[in-house]
Amino acid sequence: MPLPPTAELICSFTTIKTEPLSPFVWLLLKTLNNFGDGDRPDFEILADKLAFKDARYLQQAWNEMIGLKLCENEKAREEPRSGDSDYKSARLTQAGKKALEDGFVRIGEPRRREGEALYFIIRDGSPVGNWKASYESKDRGPLDRPKWANKVTEACIAKALKEQRESGDEHIEPDEQIYDLEIHWEDSREVKLD
C-alpha cells in the first residue's frame, strides 16, 4: 500500500556520545559560573547550605570535573591537585561552559554524517514509520518548504533514523546527541513511496 505524499529530506549533522552531569558536578559548575574567586563558598559551606552535610560528595564531583577538564586555573596547570584551594581560584573551561549549558558532557570524538536521506509525511511532518527496505521511491519534483519545516529538530531526526535504518550502526544511540543539524532544502524532494 502506498504511503501519502512524502518529503525526502536531505540533512547533515554531527553526533557525539554524551554523559549526563551528576547533580554535584552541576552544582559546582553553577558555583564556578556565578561566584568569583573571593566570593566562592567552600565545599563545607555549600554542603551545609544544601543540607546534605557531607562535603565528600563535592570533593568527588570536583575530582570528576578535573578529569573531564571542565575547569582550570593557573596553579592547577603548574602542579595539578584536586584540593579546595584549586577550587577557590578555578574557572570554567569552554567544555565546562558547554556542559553547564547542555546539562551533559560530550565524550569521545564527534562523527559527522553528510547527505542523509530521511522521509517525512508531507501532511504533518511526522517521520515515516514501519520502514520497509523494499520501498520504491518515485520522484515527484522539488519540495516546497513545508509549514512544519521549523519542527524538524535533532530529536525528530533521531526518531527518523531509528524508524528508517535497519542497521543499529546507523541509529543514534541513547547516549548520543545530535547537533549542528543542517537541512538541505534545495536538495530535498517530494517523493512517492510504494
Residue ranges per structural domain of the chain: 6-18+108-193, 22-102
pLDDT for the residue 168: 66
Task: Say how far apart CA 127 and CA 152 lie, in whole Å.
Answer: 10
pLDDT tens for residues 176-189?
899 899 999 999 99
Alpha-carbon dihedral of residues 5, 11, 14, 19, nearest 10 degrees?
-20
Separation of CA 8 from chain center: 24
Flag whether the pTM goes above 0.75.
Answer: no
Structure-model confidence comparison of residues 176 and 53, the more confident one: 176
Q: Where are the alpha helices (DSSP H) in the chain?
A: 23-34, 43-49, 56-67, 74-78, 84-89, 94-102, 154-164
pLDDT > 90? residue 17: yes
Residue 102 CA: distances (Å) to CA of 21, 32, 97? 9, 16, 9
Positive or negative, the Cα torsion across 115, 118, 120, 125? negative
- What whole-number percentage of the chain has pLDDT above 90? 54
Helices (H) and strands (E) in the chain, counts: 7, 7
What's at 144, amino acid-wise? D
Instruction: Say if CB 16 and CB 176 are below 8 A apart.
Output: yes
Q: At residue 21, does pLDDT exceed 60?
A: yes
The torsion angles phi and psi of 29, rounded to 5 degrees, stand at -60, -45
C-alpha span between 32 and 88 (Å, rounded): 9
pLDDT at 6 over 90: yes
